[in-house]
Amino acid sequence: MSIALIEQYINYVEKEKDLSPNTVDAYTKDLEQLNIYFQENNIDSMIHINKTNIITYLIYLQRCGKTNTTISRKLTSIRCFYQYLLNNGMIKEDPTFNLKSPKKERKSITILTIEELDILLSQPDTRCYKGCRDRAMLELICSTGLRVSEMLSLNIRDFDFKSSVINLNDNRIILVEESASIYISKYLNEFRINYNIDDPLFTNLYGNRLTRQGFWKIMKAYAKYAGFNKTVTPQVLRNSFAFHIINNGINIYKAKDILGHSNITTTERYLLK
């Protein structure tokens, strides 16, 4: 009888709910696994169960090593199924009523140590255009926490040589650390000699504004040369900046102001909360 109920429900979902084939497959597998569990525990029908049976099943999934995300998805499948049975008068009470999904696991955040940042920054060969530009970009993003999009949208006029600050479009003024300022100045003065102040600050070898994809490839290559056993992305650099400025005693509200509070990411909220 339980198999027939599952097939009836899946047929309803396919025809009435317009769900993707992947979602329908997931519902089917989740309910079939639930039915197998009930059969193995001497529960003859999926109709004759209560909330305790569902809770016991969720605990069983947890003991089997299923993640909270997977358990939450399976509970959603089960809840939808029993709502269908309730709405069609096949059961009097929904055994999933008021059952809360387990909290999602907090994802671990990748951070580069100060030593790892130093190794990464030492990779570019600053004797050539590309290497000096790359060192300037890495120094800038590591010392200011700028988003890649913010950094690559900068024009030369946005960098104040005298004050070592950057003026962003959202009226934020970001202090640039000496090391970043040195390499930006070297890059412009030695390799961008005939520049116009309205030109992009960072350009590719053809003189066009560098793209996010271009920066990603650059950083991926240097991380590989550095021999890191962790994935290094632009967001990892931003996470590292947030982590280290807080560890160095920067006021939490000042840190949020530096990073741009209105557009702060979930990862940064975790670091800065």
Q: What is the pLDDT of residues 16-64, one digit of tens each?
A: 777 788 888 999 999 999 999 999 998 888 888 899 999 999 999 999 9
Query: Which of 83, 93, 2 is closest to 39 using CA atoms?
Result: 2
Q: What is the pLDDT of residues 118-145, one digit of tens each?
A: 999 999 999 999 999 999 999 999 888 8
Q: What is the pLDDT of residues 146-176, one digit of tens each?
A: 889 999 999 999 999 888 888 887 778 888 8
- What percent of the chain shows pLDDT beyond 70? 87
Q: Tell which wins on pLDDT, 261 or 218.
A: 218
DSSP letter for each residue of 60-121: HHHHTT--HHHHHHHHHHHHHHHHHHHHTTS-SS-TTTTPPPPPPPPPP-----HHHHHHHH
Other residues' Cβ atoms within 10 Å of the Cβ of residue 151: 21
The answer to whether the CB of 27 falls within 8 A of the CB of 13 is yes
DSSP letter for each residue of 236-264: HHHHHHHHHHHHTT--HHHHHHHHTGGG-
Mean predicted confidence (pLDDT) in 231-258: 67
The answer to whether the CB of 136 falls within 8 A of the CB of 183 is yes
pLDDT at 264 over 60: no
Task: Report the predicted TM-score, pTM, of the whole model to 2 decimal places.
Answer: 0.56
Structure-derived torsion over alpha carbons of residues 192, 193, 198, 204, reported in degrees to the nearest 10:
-20
pLDDT computed for residue 256 by the predictor: 43
Q: Tell which wins on pLDDT, 107 or 254.
A: 107
Q: Tell which wins on pLDDT, 271 or 190.
A: 190
* Domains present along the chain, CATH in parentheses: 2-87 (1.10.150.130), 114-272 (1.10.443.10)
Indicate the pLDDT class of residue 113, thresholds 50, 70 and 90.
Answer: confident
Q: What is the layout of strands, in order, in the sheet containing 173-175?
A: 159-160, 165-167, 173-175
Which residue's entry shows tokens 């102001």? 257
Indicate the pLDDT class of residue 269, thresholds 50, 70 and 90.
Answer: very low
The answer to whether the CB of 232 falls within 8 A of the CB of 139 is no
pLDDT computed for residue 106 by the predictor: 62
- Tell me, what amino acid is at 89? G
Chain-wide mean pLDDT for the chain?
A: 84
Q: And the tokens for 45?
A: 């029908």
Q: CA-CA distance, 122 to 14, in Å (whole number)?
A: 57
